[in-house]
Amino acid sequence: MGSGLYGRLESGSHTTPDAVTLQALLAQLHERGAPNVVMEVSSHGLEQGRVNGVEFDIAVFTNLSRDHLDYHPDMTAYGAAKRRLFQMPGLRHAVINCDDDFGRELLSTLPKGVEPLAFGLSAYDVAGIAQVRGLNLRLHSQGLSLDVESPWGAGRLESALRGRFNASNLLAALSVLLTMGVPLADALQRLSRVSPVPGRMELIAGRPGQPTVIVDYAHSPDALQQALAAVREHSTGRRVWCVFGCGGGRDRGKRPLMGAIAERYADFVVVTDDNPRHEDPVGIVAEILAGMVNPYAVYVRRDRAEALAFAIRHAGPADIILVAGKGHEDYQLIGAEKIPFSDREQAAKLLAMGRDAQVSRGQDAQERPARER
């Protein structure tokens, strides 16, 4: 997370800063010559009025899935918070994912004067509304490709990004560019050069004969399912490992759901700590395991560095390891401490050490499934 001119982002602590800080940032960007601003607006930010006073030209809706239920009472309240973005004064265009149930509802309830544009990978008929549609999606080892149909013409999009969800994200970005008047051919060419965001389905380079390691920020049930599905779709026939945990002080209800998803979509699961904060990490792990049919087959390595080392050491050279939950983060929140730790850096370090990578002596004697220890 961060803000600033493209390629020179400065780190920030919140997706959407408080209203005063946000206005100061916008003023700085204006002074530095930024002609346009693209920003992510969180449901917290909308609920707390952090973007009040900001006049958006284009609002984009990507999806609604379970997240932040430690803050919002339920999914209805979560959706209502997101809806606020599309009811803000001065909004001119709404770019909405019509593959999403809530997105289709949004399309039918936009205020007068807001021009809708739908995008999607499915064949949903949104009668009377212009649509940018992605067809013939192909996921392969180098990324993805899809055909595009739109009111501006047709073309083909090639990308190094991974996952069906990233194909949807690319369609969202394409829809915004087309709305802004960028010619279709130019927009497709520019999007083909987009590189993965750090910590979002990011491939960590290793050496020949080592497993493939991918780091992703997936920390909700839907995001974990999509990340694991993407790994499967891009790498047919290869075994998949999933290293993940759940944060403390957050939605407890998602923990067994994520456990069930990991068990279903991965061949091997390693459960570890992920920002336990002031909660008992052992209790968090227990709630994750409670969602699994066979928790005895799961490996528990609460020390996250040990968990990564274990997976890298035991995965085969053709295997893929998805390290989920922290993505770009470079810290662990344990109790009152903020301890430096990066999945990306740790995975790269372990791969550089080779197949004998370990972080503590005597670990091999303990490498048995969770409840046999």
Domain residue limits at 271: 202-372
SS3 238: coil
Instruction: With beta carbons less than 8 A apart as the criterion, state whether 261 and 294 touch.
Output: no
Domain shared by 210 and 62, yes or no? no
> Binning pLDDT at 50, 70 and 90, where does residue 372 land?
very low
Number of domains the chain is built from: 2
**Residue 152 above 70 pLDDT?**
yes
Mean pLDDT, range 290-313, rounded to an integer: 97
Domain shared by 135 and 271, yes or no? no
10 lies in some domain:
no
Q: Helices 254-265 & 281-289, crossing angle to 10 degrees? A: 60
Of the spans 77-81, 123-127, 174-178, which averages the highest pLDDT? 174-178
> Binning pLDDT at 50, 70 and 90, where does residue 23 land?
very high
> Binning pLDDT at 50, 70 and 90, where does residue 268 land?
very high
**Residue 373 above 60 pLDDT?**
no
Encode pLDDT of 354-371 as tens digits. 756 555 434 443 445 554
% residues pLDDT > 90 (the chain):
77
Integer Cα distance of 14 and 3 in angstroms: 10
Domain shared by 112 and 254, yes or no? no
Encode pLDDT of 84-99 as tens digits. 999 999 999 999 999 9
Residue 157: predicted pLDDT: 98
Residue 277 DSSP label:
B
Where residue 322 sits, what CATH number does that domain have?
A: 3.90.190.20
In angstroms, what CA-CA distances link 155 with 122, 147, 285? 17, 6, 47
Mean pLDDT, range 258-268, rounded to an integer: 98
> Binning pLDDT at 50, 70 and 90, where does residue 205 land?
confident
292 lies in some domain:
yes
Of the three residues 192, 224, 258, the one that is the final residue of a domain is: 192
> Cα(first)–Cα(last) distance of the chain, in Å?
39
Of the three residues 192, 217, 237, the one that is the final residue of a domain is: 192
Mean pLDDT, range 338-357, rounded to an integer: 90
Integer Cα distance of 25 and 31 in angstroms: 10
Residue 11: predicted pLDDT: 76
CA atoms lying within 13 Å on the CB side of residue 283? 9
Domain shared by 94 and 180, yes or no? yes
Domain shared by 214 and 307, yes or no? yes
Encode pLDDT of 104-117 as tens digits. 999 999 999 999 99
197 lies in some domain:
no
Domain shared by 113 and 249, yes or no? no
Residue 371: predicted pLDDT: 44
Residue 363: predicted pLDDT: 45
**Residue 340 above 50 pLDDT?**
yes
**Residue 284 above 50 pLDDT?**
yes
Encode pLDDT of 46-57 as tens digits. 999 999 989 999
Where residue 139 sits, what CATH number does that domain have?
A: 3.40.1190.10
Domain shared by 168 and 271, yes or no? no
CA-CA-CA-CA torsion sign (213, 219, 221, 222) = negative
AA identity, residue 139: L
Integer Cα distance of 204 and 351 in angstroms: 9
What's the CA dihedral at 184, 190, 195, 201 to 10 degrees? 0
Give the pairing of strands 202-204 and 153-159. Answer: unpaired
Of the three residues 138, 160, 192, the one that is the final residue of a domain is: 192
Model-level pTM greater than 0.85?
no
171 lies in some domain:
yes
